Amino acid sequence: MKTTDEIQERINYLNESTRNILNSNERLNKEKQIVSVESQVEETFLKTLIGKEEGELKELLIELEAKSRVLNSSLEKQNDSKSKHKSQAKVWTNNIKINTIKWILEDQ
């Protein structure tokens, strides 16, 4: 499992990456916008996870994986594009959270 220092280092990296993208003089293309938002979501979520015990993280991971199955199932049933877009955003955000917890739980 990652240490608090390693998590804080990742938070700092994500914060700096986002700042560099947003402060760039280049026009933000879709890819950069996505990277920026993804970094912000991961950074915010990491801040909520600092200090959590391994057991708490594993329970949260199980909950998020179950939520992922529900969201994906719901997404498959939707027909109108507005609802589908909202559901895709929820799936994407949930996947970021899952991957973040998995990263924290990884052995060194």
Q: Which residue has the higher pLDDT, 25 or 4?
A: 4
Residues with Cβ within 8 Å of residue 105, at least 6 apart in sequence: 1, 2, 54, 57, 58, 61
Report residue 59's pLDDT band, with 50, 70 and 90 as the boundaries: very high
Q: Which residue has the higher pLDDT, 2 or 108?
A: 2
Alpha carbon distance 55, 81 (integer Å): 38
**To which residue do tokens 């998020």 refer?**
64
For residues 85-96, give the mean pLDDT: 94
For residues 71-95, give the mean pLDDT: 90
pTM, rounded to two decimals = 0.88
